[in-house]
């Protein structure tokens, strides 16, 4: 039986496409958790896209072992060279290069099919000078002519590609069409036995998981996706959904076996959500807050409604009834050289609020006050003034962690800072105003580091 390889692109096609600027420590935390989950390949970034991506791929390649570390690049010498350089320290490096193969794109770029093939073959040959494992992507393959996709695949496999990625870049496919395309390639690419087929779907029509499963059933050996399905537009395939869809059926149903530690799914999804600041919807399959609550369930202490439940919560690492301990990773997010010492708020709930905030900044204690439309806005203004950074608040959310009076406020902010994209900050505290202040401080510290580097 084939073993289905899990290719995670949370850091590249996920967070990066959303414009999120995660620092190396955050990317490393996500990567380590993906290794615990049992991912086979981790696409750590696009080194030629930015200095930050280059540094992150370099750091991950140097430190994370026992898994394939992949770098993404376009089909040109310069990007491939940069990618290869970033992967130098990797135990199992993979270069993922390619280009778009749909007629629409070729017309736009004034390229004829022969030129596209020439570029593709050149890119694979060039990447092969650096690494043995080269994955080729034919972006928008689903809207390409199948005979052309087959032709280009045969040529890149002959040039040394070990994996060929057939993406539904625009999220247009239906499961049966996607399955048919994979079957067509298996039947029409003569040297297909020398490479593995990878599938990469997007969720524009809500079918990314279904399309991926159709591709797996048709014979693909690798599935690409992100944790929680994050990604541009409607997102990428949710890896946790594909994993559990395969897991809940006998191996023969899809013709593949999995080597994933499903018990790590909940912590992986929670960690990715916390770090990216992209919340998990309550009704989200597998990991949403309501995923295991049936109509008969009253609260978290009621066991899942056995006859109707197809997945035991424990299988994905959810333990209903147990008060969730705060993961040490989450606590670390609050550790920095700036901390919130004291907050006092004056508000009558009608007019503007005033906040007086005291921060400890590298041993110094500073206090400032500001007015805002509400207490949180006033706190943010005071903090911003003391830290001397100007940002645009794009999103602020507040959740509760734990149950009852023991619960903590969990605040997440997403800030936009000029050229540096989006930065996420998180803060936890029994006091929701303090949690908000901590989240803001956490984000501003990251902004400051980014603007220095």
Shortest separation between residue 233's beta carbon and Mn ion, angstroms: 10
Closer Cβ to Mn ion, 13 or 330, answer by number: 13
Shortest separation between residue 216's beta carbon and Mn ion, angstroms: 17
Shortest separation between residue 340's beta carbon and Mn ion, angstroms: 39
Closer Cβ to Mn ion, 13 or 43, answer by number: 13
Mark residue 421 as left, alpha or beta (left: phi above 0; alpha: psi -120 to 50; beta: remaining).
left
Q: Distance between CA 264 and CA 272 in Å, rounded?
A: 12
- Asked if residues 85 and 76 have their Cβ atoms less than 8 Å apart, the reply is no
Closer Cβ to Mn ion, 11 or 318, answer by number: 11
Closer Cβ to Mn ion, 13 or 241, answer by number: 13
Contact stretch for Mn ion (CB under 5 A) within 7-15, 286-294, 329-337, 428-436? 7-15
The alpha carbon dihedral of 12, 73, 56, 425 has a sign of: negative
Tokens of 421: 């994209």
Q: Distance between CA 316 and CA 240 in Å, rounded?
A: 9
Shortest separation between residue 5's beta carbon and Mn ion, angstroms: 17
Closer Cβ to Mn ion, 13 or 29, answer by number: 13
Count the residues in the chain.
453
Number of shown-chain residues binding Mn ion (CB under 5 A): 1
Closer Cβ to Mn ion, 13 or 384, answer by number: 13
Contact stretch for Mn ion (CB under 5 A) within 13-21, 128-136, 148-156, 404-412? 13-21
Closer Cβ to Mn ion, 34 or 387, answer by number: 34
Shortest separation between residue 225's beta carbon and Mn ion, angstroms: 10
Q: Which residue do the tokens 């135990």 mark?
A: 91
User: If we measure between CA atoms, which residue out of 367, 370, 373, 366 comes closest to residue 382?
Assistant: 370
> Reduced to 3 states, what is the DSSP secondary structure of residue 353?
strand
Shortest separation between residue 157's beta carbon and Mn ion, angstroms: 22
Shortest separation between residue 57's beta carbon and Mn ion, angstroms: 18
Shortest separation between residue 230's beta carbon and Mn ion, angstroms: 11
DSSP code per residue over 92-139: EEEEEEEEE-SHHHHHHTT--HHHHHHHHHHHHHHHHTT-S-EEEEEE
Shortest separation between residue 239's beta carbon and Mn ion, angstroms: 13
Closer Cβ to Mn ion, 208 or 443, answer by number: 208
Strand partners for 423:
415
Q: Which residue is nearest to Mn ion (CB)?
A: 13
Contact stretch for Mn ion (CB under 5 A) within 9-17, 123-131, 250-258, 394-402? 9-17
> Reduced to 3 states, what is the DSSP secondary structure of residue 429?
strand
Closer Cβ to Mn ion, 13 or 434, answer by number: 13
Q: Mask 330-359, x = binds Mn ion (CB under 5 A)?
A: ------------------------------
Shortest separation between residue 292's beta carbon and Mn ion, angstroms: 30
Strand partners for 41:
7, 68
**Does residue 168 belong to the site contacting Mn ion (CB under 5 A)?**
no
Q: Distance between CA 344 and CA 379 in Å, rounded?
A: 9
Q: Where are the alpha helices (DSSP H) in 20-91?
A: 24-37, 51-63, 77-86
* 186: Cβ contacts below 8 Å, ≥ 6 apart: 192, 197, 218, 219
User: If we measure between CA atoms, which residue out of 321, 314, 345, 289 comes closest to residue 403?
Assistant: 321
Closer Cβ to Mn ion, 208 or 271, answer by number: 208
**Does residue 13 belong to the site contacting Mn ion (CB under 5 A)?**
yes
Contact stretch for Mn ion (CB under 5 A) within 10-18, 25-33, 174-182, 315-323? 10-18
Shortest separation between residue 242's beta carbon and Mn ion, angstroms: 15
Closer Cβ to Mn ion, 154 or 168, answer by number: 168
The DSSP H or E segment spanning 209 is: helix 208-218
Tokens of 408: 């903590």
Closer Cβ to Mn ion, 13 or 264, answer by number: 13
Contact stretch for Mn ion (CB under 5 A) within 11-19, 207-215, 337-345, 432-440? 11-19
Shortest separation between residue 31's beta carbon and Mn ion, angstroms: 19
Where on the chain is the footprint of Mn ion (CB under 5 A)? 13
């Amino acid at each position: 039986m084939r073993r289905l390889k899990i290719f995670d692109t949370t850091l590249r096609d996920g967070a990066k496409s959303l414009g999120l600027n995660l620092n190396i420590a955050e990317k490393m935390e996500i990567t380590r958790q993906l290794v615990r989950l049992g991912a086979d390949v981790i696409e750590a970034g696009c080194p030629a896209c930015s200095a930050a991506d280059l540094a992150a791929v370099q750091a991950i390649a140097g430190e994370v072992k026992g898994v394939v570390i992949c770098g993404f690049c376009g089909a040109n010498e310069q990007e491939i060279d940069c990618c290869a350089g970033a992967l130098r320290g990797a135990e199992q490096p993979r270069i993922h290069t390619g280009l778009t193969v749909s007629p629409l794109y070729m017309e736009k770029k004034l390229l004829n099919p022969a030129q596209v093939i020439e570029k593709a073959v050149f890119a694979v040959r060039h990447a092969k000078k650096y690494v043995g494992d080269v994955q080729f992507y034919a972006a928008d393959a689903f809207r390409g002519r199948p005979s052309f996709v087959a032709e280009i695949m045969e040529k890149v496999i002959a040039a040394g590609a070990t994996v060929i990625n057939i993406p539904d870049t625009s999220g247009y496919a239906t499961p049966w069409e996607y399955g048919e395309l994979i079957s067509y390639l298996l039947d029409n690419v003569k040297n297909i036995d020398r490479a593995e087929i990878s599938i990469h779907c997007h969720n524009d029509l809500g079918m990314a998981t279904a399309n991926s499963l159709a591709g797996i059933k048709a014979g693909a050996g690798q599935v690409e996706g992100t944790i929680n399905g994050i990604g541009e537009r409607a997102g990428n395939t949710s890896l946790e959904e594909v994993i559990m869809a395969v897991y809940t059926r006998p191996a023969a149903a899809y013709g593949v076996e999995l080597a994933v530690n499903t018990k790590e799914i909940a912590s992986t999804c929670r960690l990715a959500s916390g770090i990216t600041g992209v919340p998990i919807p309550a009704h989200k399959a597998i990991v949403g807050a309501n995923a295991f609550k049936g109509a008969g369930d009253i609260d978290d202490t009621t066991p899942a409604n056995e006859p109707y439940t197809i997945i035991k919560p424990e299988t994905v690492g959810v333990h209903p009834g147990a008060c969730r301990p705060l993961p040490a990773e989450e606590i670390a997010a609050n550790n920095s050289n700036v901390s919130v010492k004291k907050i006092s708020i004056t508000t009558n709930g009608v007019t503007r609020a005033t906040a007086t905030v005291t921060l400890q900044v590298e041993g110094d204690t500073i206090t400032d006050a500001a007015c805002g439309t509400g207490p949180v806005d006033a706190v943010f203004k005071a903090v911003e003034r003391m830290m001397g950074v100007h940002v645009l608040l794009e999103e602020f959310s507040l959740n509760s962690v734990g149950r009852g009076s023991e619960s903590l406020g969990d605040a997440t902010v997403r800030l936009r800072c000029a050229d540096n994209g989006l930065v996420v900050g998180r803060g936890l505290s029994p006091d929701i105003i303090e949690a908000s202040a901590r989240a803001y401080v956490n984000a501003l510290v990251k902004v400051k580091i980014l603007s220095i580097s």
